[in-house]
Every structure is written in structure tokens, then in C-alpha cells.
A and B are shown apart, each in its own frame.
Chain A
Amino acid sequence: MNQDIRRGLLEKIADLHDVPAGAYNIRENGESVRQNTEEITIETKTDKPGINIIVKSGTKNRSVHIPVLITKTGLTEMVYNDFIIGDDCDVLIVAGCGIHNTGDEASAHDGVHSFEIGKNSHVRYIEKHYGEGNGSGERIMNPEMTAHLAEGASMEIESVQIGGIDSTNRKTVITAEEKCEVLLSERLMTDGHQDVVSDTEIILNGADSKARINSRSVAKGNSTQLFYPKLTGNADCFGHVQCDSIIMDDAKIRSIPEICANCVDARLVHEAAIGKIAGDQILKLMTLGLTAEEAEEKILNGLLK
């Protein structure tokens, strides 16, 4: 793989400038390079493509990087990654996928991620998707994620897709037991003829659990976005869904938040807003000396920050 392209992709999807510290598994065109540590073991699955990432109980302040890079046109892969996180852990997991497609055949990565998070563990999971290359071949990513949080566990998910992916169908289901906290933030920007479907469900089964879904997006060109964020409360819990989208050009956005309470003590709220950039926002920034284009960029970057 061309080293410049490799470096560029790694920086975009994992903020990596070098080999990461700690455990990692870098998958390039289907081949993996990896490093295990005392506390974190990564092993290849024997029954299907993919890896198991096993984090020992009590592992604190450690990170795992598992970026996926594709530069071959026509490469399509389906990968299963299982994360087994012990009790009382505090770990950062940086996933993400970069596709550089200069050919005319579609390149696709479909990742199926499943998490089992032990009691009182905290996981921060960052997933960035990025595509580039001037070929006519499509860049496709269909990530699927399921997670189960044991009592007292918490998970922060940051999913970012701000350029170059032609088609995405994302599905996420998270189930949480007592005293859990789930924070899911999604940042999305689409342009041209890109299409995204994002289907997210968080199910709060245990008392004293909290969940927030915060989705912010910008749709430009002829792109389309479809959101189905759903929160289900089956116990004394709190949940909040917030979706904010800026629509531009000839784009189309549908946002269908759902809250579902199956317990009298569940408190669930949803808010969804779609609108173009307000004219007075642009004008205000112009009075501070920005051009109309710079003002627009500031506003979009702010929203997607």
C-alpha cells in the first residue's frame, strides 16, 4: 500500500501519525498487523473473518486501535469483531474505516461489531468513516453494532462520517442494565449523491439508567439522510434524543425519532429539528469580518464539532 495514502487515511480515521501505543490491529486490504499487550488480547476468529478483542477485568486507562484501510478497488469485505470487556475497566477503543478508491468498481467494508461490557466498566468508542479517491467506483460502508452493558457500565460512542462515503446503512442496538449510562453522538455530513440511513436503538432495561442520543448532520448537494433514533425505557430511567440537521442545496433529510416507555417511571424526551442555516447567523458573522462562505463554513464546522 502506498505509504502516503496509508498515512493520510490513518490520520483521518484514527488521528494516528505513528504506530499507536498499546494494543492495535491495523487491517489493510484484508491483511492484519497487530500488537497485543498484557491486558488486551486480539485474536483472529476461526469460524469467520474478524477478530476478538478481549480486555482483562481491571484494565484502566488503556487504548485499542483497530483501523481498517482499503485501497483496492472492487474489494468488498464483511468483518465480525467481538469486544469482550471485563469488569471495572476503563478503555478507549478507536475503530474507523478509510477507503481510497481510484478504480471503477465498488469498494465496501461491512463491519459487524458486538460489545459485551462488564460491570462498572467504562468504554469510549470512536468510529470515523472516511472515503477518498477519484475513481467512479462507489465507497460503501454498512456498520452494524450491538452492545450489552452490565450493571454500572457506561459507554460513550462517537461516530463521525464527514466525507467521501457514497452509501451507508448503519444499524446500532444497545441494551443497558441497571445504573448504566449510554451517550451516543453522531456527526454526519453528506454531499453529491451520497445516501445514509442511520438506525439506532437504545434499550434501557435497568433502573437508574440514562441514555442520550445526540445526532448532528449536514446534508448538501443531492444527498439524502434518514434517521431512526429510538429509545426504549423498560425501567425507572431517563433518556433524551436530540437530532439537529442543516439542509442545503437539493438534499433531503428525514428524521424520525421514537421514544417508547414500558414503565411508568421512564422519562423520555425527544427533539428533532431540520432547517437551513439561518440568514442572520451568516450576517452576524459577516459583521465580524467573515465572508459569506467563511461564515457558512464556521457554522457547519460548529455544528459538526
Chain B
Amino acid sequence: MLRLQNVTFTVPQNEKGGKNTILDDVTLDIEDGSYVVVTGPNGGGKTTLAKVIMGLVKPDSGRIFLDGMDISSLDVTARSEAGISYGFQQPPRFKGITVRDLLSIAAKRKLKKEDACHLLTKVGLCATEYINREVDTSLSGGEVKRIEIATVLARAETSKVLIFDEPEAGIDLWSFHRLTKTFRELHEESNCTIIIISHQERIISQADEVLLIADGKLSLRGKPEDILPSIDDVEEKPCMVEMDK
């Protein structure tokens, strides 16, 4: 089980001091092997929550447990070893590192051509065209995004928790279709806990459970059929900017 206990994360508001609370005393449990979708308004704190779990962001307070072990003080590498994987919302690019190199790093072994191809097929990429390309700026946004997802899939065998941050972003309809199938299969065939941050109804509706994160808080959780209708009710926030007189 993945457990977050009273996790709070703030950033300084401005030079004069003051704080913006990004995650506000979040406590939640996610059962092993479940398929959970995290959704909510832009800026609500979803990515920050994922980064806190991966160790990319250090919370001000609170603890994180994986299968009863307190992983709060572990760095990113150690959490990766402990079985957490995270696919970035905005993946970085690497000059001189090929798709196959990157997937091999992820899988922790030199991947055979077939293995790399297999992973790429799962994200709707034609493998032979891509495995020897560098993960640099020559790849399109959607291509980089799908390669990023493949790096997480490459770790499925050795991971306990897989987190995907808006896997649908920038991805065409055909690949999106392939991707939803990949997530379903992953859920059926592996024991991994799958956490997908998403705004897509298609992905939300195939989840076991949906967590709604808004304003840095877990504001609602439940079955997709219960959560989806309530989204219409989320109140619109007034703009707080003070205008110069």
C-alpha cells in the first residue's frame, strides 16, 4: 500500500515572505494493484503530489510509506529502487541518447531489439523507425511523450507503483486508443499499482477509483460513475489579482 500522511508543501509567495500552499495536509491510501486516476483543475497540485511520491519534490511536512516502510527520507534514486516509477508531464530530451539507450537504462539491462520494439508498440510507435533515434529536439512533442511512457512501462516488472502524468497530453487519437488498451492490459496482467493523472473521461471511466485534487487538497474520491457527474459542480474560482488603480 502507498500511504501519504499529512503531506504539506509550500512555496515562498514573494520576496517579502508569505507562503503559497500547494499541497495542504494531504492524507491518502492507495491499495496495492489498484488502478487510480487523479484528476482535478489545472494547478490543483496533481503533478506536485506525484513528484512528492517520487521524491522529486521535498514536502515541508508529512510522511510517505510504501508497504509500511517510511520512504520519506529516501532520495529519487532510492525510491526508484524501492519500486516507484514516474513518467513526467513534460519529459526532458537528451542529445546523443537513443530511444533504445533510454529504454535500456529504464529496464536496467541492454534491451534486445525485439524487447524495445515491444515496448514502443505499446505506446503506438512504430519501433523500427524510432529505436535508434536520439531523444532530442528532433522528436515531436507527442513522440517524446510516448517514449516517456515507454520508459515507465519498461520498469513495470520491477516496480510496485507506476505513475503516469497526463499520458494523453499531445497524443493523437489512434495512439490514445492504443494507450488506454495498454493501461487496461497492464492493470489485468501486472500487480503494479497504477496511478494516472488525467483529464480524459475515457481514462477516468476505466479506473477502479478516482481522486479529485483541487486547491492542494483531496476534495473527493470514489468510483468513476460517482465522481464524473460531480465535476460539473466544482465551483469556479474568482480571479484574485488586484488591479493597479
Report yes or no: B92 in contact with A287, Cβ–Cβ below 8 A. Answer: no
User: Which residues of chain B come closer than 8 Å to A298, judged between CB atoms?
Assistant: 97, 105
Report yes or no: A281 in contact with B77, Cβ–Cβ below 8 A. Answer: no
A226 to chain B, nearest CB (A): 21
Report yes or no: A304 in contact with B96, Cβ–Cβ below 8 A. Answer: yes
User: A292: CB under 8 A from chain B?
Assistant: yes
Report yes or no: B88 in contact with A285, Cβ–Cβ below 8 A. Answer: no
Measured CA separation A304–B94 after assembly (Å) = 12
Interface string of A242-276 (1 = CB under 8 A from B): 00100000000000000000000000000000000
A12 to chain B, nearest CB (A): 21
Q: CB within 8 A of A280: which of B85, B88, B101?
A: B88
Q: Of residues 274 to 298 in A, which have CB atoms within 8 Å of B's CB atoms? A: 278, 280-281, 283-292, 298
Whether A303 touches B86, Cβ cut-off 8 Å, given contacts A289-B80, A290-B77, is no
Measured CA separation A278–B137 after assembly (Å) = 14
Measured CA separation A86–B15 after assembly (Å) = 70
User: B56: CB under 8 A from chain A?
Assistant: yes
User: A48: CB under 8 A from chain B?
Assistant: no
Measured CA separation A284–B102 after assembly (Å) = 10
User: Which residues of chain B come closer than 8 Å to A216, judged between CB atoms?
Assistant: 95-96
Report yes or no: B95 in contact with A303, Cβ–Cβ below 8 A. Answer: yes
User: Which residues of chain B come closer than 8 Å to A17, judged between CB atoms?
Assistant: none
Report yes or no: A284 in contact with B92, Cβ–Cβ below 8 A. Answer: yes
Report yes or no: A283 in contact with B56, Cβ–Cβ below 8 A. Answer: yes
Q: CB within 8 A of B77: which of A278, A280, A286, A302?
A: A286
User: A299: CB under 8 A from chain B?
Assistant: yes
Q: Of residues 75 to 134 in B, which have CB atoms within 8 Å of A's CB atoms? A: 75-77, 80-81, 85-86, 88, 90-92, 94-97, 101, 105-106, 108
Residue on B with the closest CB to A304? B96
Report yes or no: A278 in contact with B92, Cβ–Cβ below 8 A. Answer: yes
Size of the B side of the interface (Cβ < 8 Å), in residues, is: 23
Measured CA separation A305–B105 after assembly (Å) = 16
Whether A302 touches B97, Cβ cut-off 8 Å, given contacts A287-B56, A288-B105, is yes
Q: CB within 8 A of B54: which of A285, A287, A305?
A: A287
Measured CA separation A298–B106 after assembly (Å) = 13
Measured CA separation A289–B151 after assembly (Å) = 12
Whether A244 touches B91, Cβ cut-off 8 Å, given contacts A289-B80, A289-B81, is no
B75 to chain A, nearest CB (A): 8
Whether A302 touches B105, Cβ cut-off 8 Å, given contacts A278-B92, A284-B92, is no
A272 to chain B, nearest CB (A): 14
Residue on A with the closest CB to B148? A284
User: B146: CB under 8 A from chain A?
Assistant: no
Report yes or no: B94 in contact with A289, Cβ–Cβ below 8 A. Answer: no
Report yes or no: B155 in contact with A288, Cβ–Cβ below 8 A. Answer: yes
Report yes or no: B91 in contact with A284, Cβ–Cβ below 8 A. Answer: yes
Residue on A with the closest CB to B104? A288
Residue on B with the closest CB to A302? B96
Report yes or no: B92 in contact with A288, Cβ–Cβ below 8 A. Answer: no
A271 to chain B, nearest CB (A): 10
Measured CA separation A265–B153 after assembly (Å) = 49
Report yes or no: B94 in contact with A281, Cβ–Cβ below 8 A. Answer: yes
Whether A303 touches B96, Cβ cut-off 8 Å, given contacts A283-B56, A288-B155, A290-B105, is yes
Report yes or no: A281 in contact with B92, Cβ–Cβ below 8 A. Answer: yes
B105 to chain A, nearest CB (A): 5
B170 to chain A, nearest CB (A): 17
Measured CA separation A284–B155 after assembly (Å) = 13
Residue on A with the closest CB to B163? A287
A273 to chain B, nearest CB (A): 10
A-B contact sample (4 more), CB < 8 A, given A288-B155, A289-B77? A244-B95, A287-B80, A287-B86, A299-B94
Identify the A interface with B (CB < 8 A). Answer: 216, 244, 278, 280-281, 283-292, 298-299, 301-305
12 A-B interface contacts by CB (under 8 A)? A216-B96, A244-B95, A283-B76, A286-B75, A287-B76, A287-B80, A287-B85, A288-B155, A301-B96, A302-B95, A302-B96, A303-B96
Kindly list the 9 A-B residue pairs having the minimum CB-CB distance in the complex, ordered from nearest.
A302-B96, A286-B76, A302-B97, A280-B92, A289-B80, A281-B92, A288-B106, A303-B96, A305-B96
